[in-house]
């Protein structure tokens, strides 16, 4: 696939006028998909697809088009037709004042091989370790490809094997235990361990439910729940554009406020799923420290923001959100979580998150799936859904008691159109107080 893409890009380069620059981006995958319901396979299949995006630049104008490639002789003809259409479109477009591309070619090639299980093995082990429980979930695994080429001679390739099994054990009504297993090397023992833990939580949902009155409670946020909170902060929290326009949810940190010194966020491209290059050809550094021991670090700067605000780009995409977020681990052992929590709430998942006061860093949301009441280090009852409203400066500030040593890889599970490459690696978080409003 790499050779075909680079060959196609080279052929298109030959068709350009001297005033034209062409950027080519390819996004492809070869993936297996399995959908489970009631511990049975409801849908299974494989997808092999490849999409080429052409961006033609001339006289500070740009236009783009995307087409599917079929690895046939017709690809070049279709790409040339698209290129001719883009030339016609360019004549009608105004100049783009914030257009910026990498004019200093930086080529690179990265391939990361994993140990993926065949679909039949995934089915056998998933259903076998479910032990008759109502398993509902979706598995996606295979090779993801990203490529970049421009008429200035730059060539970049990214190829990675990865999988994500996003699943739940369903009990009845609105009761379920949701979890997931993702990574680069399939491990049957790791899956079995997660299944066993989820099974134990499922049995606890049979206990009489408890309704907790509004107020402040000690709480443990599992990695998936913390990911929901951190993901909300990614809506502009690390963006250079949001900082320049004072629309960041971390605005108070720009003015000197801090979080707990335990908090360090890093854009860790070196160990994530996403490629180390982006659509304009700029390379991403292996690591960008976004929050350094509670203090605001570097922003993610897209080429357009760099041009508009006179900054140096660090290869961020147009949305200036983290693609490979890494939250530093703490010292709390996973086996110590319940005893350290003592009495309070064990929160597995959150949903319906939004800002209640964006400028002040206030967020709101609800508990979801398996949330339990814990007394003296022992789970005693599932808890009815609750809504929280909390300041990030307290939640990840003076209320943060500790973070777990163990961390979990949480990829973006979206498969609309194609599998995504964004991910986060996070610990769980123990907080001394979390404010619930109903």
Determine contact, residues 191/392, Cβ cutoff 8 Å. no
Q: What angle do CA 77, 80, 86 make, to 5 degrees?
A: 145
In this prediction, residue 73 has a pLDDT band, given cuts at 50, 70 and 90, of confident
Q: What are the distances in angstroms from CA 96 to CA 100, 186, 190, 304, 307?
A: 9, 46, 51, 10, 11
Closest CA to 248 of 123, 359, 411: 359
Determine contact, residues 116/29, Cβ cutoff 8 Å. no
Which residues, 6+ apart, have CB-to-CB distance to 88 below 8 Å?
A: none
The first and second tokens of residue 260, run together, are 């707990």
Which overall architecture, per CATH, does domain 2-204 show? Answer: 2-Layer Sandwich (3.30)
Q: Given this model, what pLDDT does residue 120 score?
A: 96
Determine contact, residues 349/373, Cβ cutoff 8 Å. no
Separation of alpha carbons 365 and 427, rounded Å: 20
Determine contact, residues 261/294, Cβ cutoff 8 Å. yes
Q: Given this model, what pLDDT does residue 174 score?
A: 85
How high does pLDDT run on average in the chain? 96
Q: Given this model, what pLDDT does residue 369 score?
A: 86
Helix (H, G, I), strand (E, B) or coil at 71: coil
Query: Is the confidence at residue 7, as pLDDT, over 90?
Result: yes
Does the predicted model carry a pTM greater than 0.85? yes
pLDDT tens string 383-412: 999 999 999 999 999 999 999 999 999 999
Determine contact, residues 351/366, Cβ cutoff 8 Å. yes
How large is the angle between the packed helices 188-204 and 119-130, nearest 10 degrees?
30
pLDDT tens string 75-112: 999 999 999 999 999 999 999 999 999 999 999 999 99
Separation of alpha carbons 187 and 198, rounded Å: 17
Cα of 412 vs its chain's centroid, Å: 4
Q: What are the distances in angstroms from CA 407 to CA 266, 395, 424?
A: 14, 19, 10
In the chain, list all ranges with CATH 3.30.2290.10.
2-204
Q: Given this model, what pLDDT does residue 104 score?
A: 95
Q: Return the beta strands (E) in 123-227 as ranges.
A: 134-150, 155-172, 175-183, 215-221
Separation of alpha carbons 1 and 93, rounded Å: 33
In this prediction, residue 312 has a pLDDT band, given cuts at 50, 70 and 90, of very high
Query: Is the confidence at residue 333, as pLDDT, over 90?
Result: yes
Section 178-182 average pLDDT: 94
Which residues, 6+ apart, have CB-to-CB distance to 222 below 8 Å?
A: 346, 347, 348, 349, 428
In this prediction, residue 438 has a pLDDT band, given cuts at 50, 70 and 90, of confident
């Amino acid at each position: 696939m790499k050779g075909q893409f680079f060959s196609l890009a080279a052929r298109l380069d030959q068709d350009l006028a001297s005033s034209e620059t062409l950027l080519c981006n390819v996004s492809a995958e070869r993936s297996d998909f399995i959908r489970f319901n009631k511990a049975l396979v409801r849908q299974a299949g494989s997808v092999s697809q490849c999409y080429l995006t052409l961006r033609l630049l001339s006289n500070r104008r740009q236009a783009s088009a995307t087409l599917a490639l079929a690895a046939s002789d017709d690809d070049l003809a279709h790409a040339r037709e698209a290129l001719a259409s883009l030339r016609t479109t360019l004549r009608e477009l105004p100049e783009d004042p914030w257009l910026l591309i990498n004019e200093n070619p930086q080529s690179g090639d990265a391939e990361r091989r994993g140990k993926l299980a065949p679909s039949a093995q995934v089915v056998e082990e998933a259903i076998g370790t479910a032990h008759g429980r109502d398993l509902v979930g979706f598995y996606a695994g295979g090779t993801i490809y990203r490529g970049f080429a421009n008429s200035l001679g730059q060539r970049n390739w990214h190829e990675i094997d990865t999988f994500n099994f996003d699943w739940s054990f369903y009990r009845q009504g609105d009761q379920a235990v949701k979890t997931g297993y993702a990574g680069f090397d399939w491990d049957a023992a790791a899956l079995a361990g997660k299944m066993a833990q989820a099974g134990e939580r499922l049995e606890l949902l049979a206990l009489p439910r408890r309704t907790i009155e509004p107020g402040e409670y000690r709480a443990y946020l599992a990695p998936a729940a913390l990911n929901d909170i951190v993901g909300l902060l990614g809506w502009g929290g690390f963006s250079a554009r949001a900082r320049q326009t004072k629309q960041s949810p971390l605005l108070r940190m720009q003015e000197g406020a801090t979080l707990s010194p335990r908090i360090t966020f890093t854009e860790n491209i070196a160990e994530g799923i996403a490629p180390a290059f982006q659509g304009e050809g700029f390379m991403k550094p292996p690591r960008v420290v976004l929050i350094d021991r509670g203090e605001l670090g570097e922003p993610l700067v897209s080429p357009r923001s760099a041009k508009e605000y006179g900054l140096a780009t660090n290869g961020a995409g147009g949305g200036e959100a983290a693609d490979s977020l890494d939250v530093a681990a703490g010292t709390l052992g996973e086996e110590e979580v319940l005893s350290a929590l003592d009495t309070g709430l064990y929160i597995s998942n959150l949903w319906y998150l939004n800002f209640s006061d964006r400028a002040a860093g206030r967020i709101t949301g609800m508990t979801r799936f398996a949330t339990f009441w814990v007394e003296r280090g022992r789970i005693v009852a599932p808890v009815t859904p609750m809504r929280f409203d909390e300041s990030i400066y307290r939640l990840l500030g003076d209320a943060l008691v500790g973070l777990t040593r163990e961390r979990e890889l949480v990829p973006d599970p979206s498969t609309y159109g194609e599998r995504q490459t964004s991910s986060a690696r996070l610990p769980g978080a123990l907080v001394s107080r979390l404010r619930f409003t109903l």
